Structure 1
Amino acid sequence: MLTQLLTATGVLALLTLVPGPDMAIVTRRAVSAGRADGLRTVAGIACGLLVWGALTAAGLAALLAASAGVYLAVKLAGAAYLVLLGVQSLRRTGSGPAPGAADSGDSGDSGDSADDALTAPARGGGSAWRTGLVSNVLNPKIAVFYTGLLPTLAPPGLSPAVGMGLLVLVHVLLTLLWLSSYVYVLSRAQRLFDRPRVRRALDRLTGVVLIAFGVRVATATS
């Protein structure tokens, strides 16, 4: 049983480390609003995994994975949410003061205003925790993963419910560890991200990445 659990943990770790929408969303929040917002987003993502674990235990995730209509609805909703977040990031790149504004009036005050505009948390997307939760819950791929691959990794000798519950908890812990560490790394470079040009470039990059993930989710065949 221990060998099977270690194998399952390794598979889950590899899947967790693969860059995806969760990492893009965490990057967006951590860079735009700092470490605390990034960690709240990570917590929301972890709660989303717990929701999927509960739905799997109740049999609803299997129903979603088997129903083409419901799966399509959730898939399109999740894709639209990612695209919305991406558009918000792109719109933020033009929210700073116009070129030359820092040279008019009191240069010190104008500079502070520019920094405030660039470092302000993203508005319109709700709290960081809710952003992480919604983006994860609207990812139907997790339903397919939890009902397809995860049961094959469950340690023998345990009931299906206990085995699945254990693996979901392992997945949540790995996600928390990895994404929290990633937020910490981003926070160490916060001074770099606070530079207006760097902030705009990152907003553009994360916006494009989120939109690309949204399109990928929408066009995925399964």
Structure 2
Amino acid sequence: MSTFLAFLGVSAVVIVTPGPDTAVTIRNTLLGGRAAGLSTALGVAVGQTIWAVATSAGIVALLVASEPLFTAVKYAGAAFLVFLGLQALREAIRPSAWPAAERPGRGQARRLGRRAAFAQGVVSDLGNPKMAVFFASLLPQFVPAEGATFGALLLLGIVFAVMTLLWLALYAAAIAKAGDVLHRPTIRRSIEAVAGTVLVGLGIRIAADQR
């Protein structure tokens, strides 16, 4: 039990530390409201579950050991974050026009549906090679050597994914609740500028990271 509690503690620290998944969730909530934010959070959790399955099956170890594959995932994930960041910066500089009779929140919600938000959450997480390294190094530390089975590793990975889902869902709910304020043109453009800069910066950092 003490080992599991230690795992929960380490996981909580990692999860609450802002990163690419957090940035994507925040921006998608601004674009599509609470539904898009929750869908993004669910997509991130699904991505982490996939990493957990791959780690338990030994696939992640092969990925980390293969320089070409690891590099390909790294650059693909970095390019995706930079792409989202540039979209945000474009909105900050030249915001899309909304029909006069509609609130900004509604106009934006139609531009980013739940499926697109979910897909972005999955791709954001799977495109982050640090998750592969993290899962491969973290999970085995909290499973006894004699009990390092597929099921034991997978269970820890799923627990981590569920914790992430709950945390990002809280983010989405808080941002959606403040939607009327955050969707004011000046504030929204400022947030887009910050989010875009952060996403581009994260993408560049991932691409330049030497593991």
Q: TM-score, normalised on structure 1? A: 0.87
* Structure 1 residue runs of 4 or more that deviate by more than 4 Å after TM superposition: 120-124
Give, in whole Å, the separation in 1 of the partners of 2:53 and 2:105: 41
- CA apart distance, 1:129: 0.3
8 Å contact from structure 2 (residues 32, 105) kept in 1:
no
Q: Give RMSD over aligned pairs.
A: 2.2
- CA apart distance, 1:28: 0.6
Counterpart for residue 24 of structure 1: 23
Give, in whole Å, the separation in 1 of the partners of 2:79 and 2:8: 32
Counterpart for residue 163 of structure 1: 152
Counterpart for residue 202 of structure 2: 213
**What letter is aligned with 2:154?**
G
- CA apart distance, 1:118: 6.3
Change beyond 3 A, Cα 1:37–1:116: closer
Ranges in structure 2 where 5+ consecutive residues have no aligned partner: none
**What letter is aligned with 2:151?**
V
8 Å contact from structure 1 (residues 5, 155) kept in 2:
no
Counterpart for residue 88 of structure 1: 87
Give, in whole Å, the separation in 2 of the partners of 1:128 and 1:134: 10
- CA apart distance, 1:163: 2.1
Whether 1:143 aligns to 2:142 is: no
Higher helix share: 2
Give, in whole Å, the separation in 2 of the partners of 1:213 and 1:201: 18
8 Å contact from structure 2 (residues 28, 37) kept in 1:
yes
8 Å contact from structure 1 (residues 119, 194) kept in 2:
no
Counterpart for residue 184 of structure 2: 195
8 Å contact from structure 2 (residues 40, 118) kept in 1:
yes
- CA apart distance, 1:145: 1.1
Q: How does 1:1-222 map to 2 (within 5 A)?
A: 2-93=1-92, 94-97=94-97, 111-112=100-101, 115=104, 119-122=108-111, 127-154=116-143, 158-222=147-211
Deviation sequence 1:170-201 (CA, Å, 0-9, x none): 10111011111111111111110121111111
Change beyond 3 A, Cα 1:86–1:146: same
Give, in whole Å, the separation in 1 of the partners of 2:30 and 2:68: 37
Ranges in structure 1 where 5+ consecutive residues have no aligned partner: 98-108
8 Å contact from structure 1 (residues 95, 117) kept in 2:
no
Q: Secondary structure at the match of 2:101?
A: helix
- CA apart distance, 1:56: 1.4
Change beyond 3 A, Cα 1:156–1:10: farther
**What letter is aligned with 2:95?**
S
Give, in whole Å, the separation in 1 of the partners of 2:204 and 2:110: 25
Deviates most, 202-211 or 50-59? 50-59
**What letter is aligned with 1:35?**
R
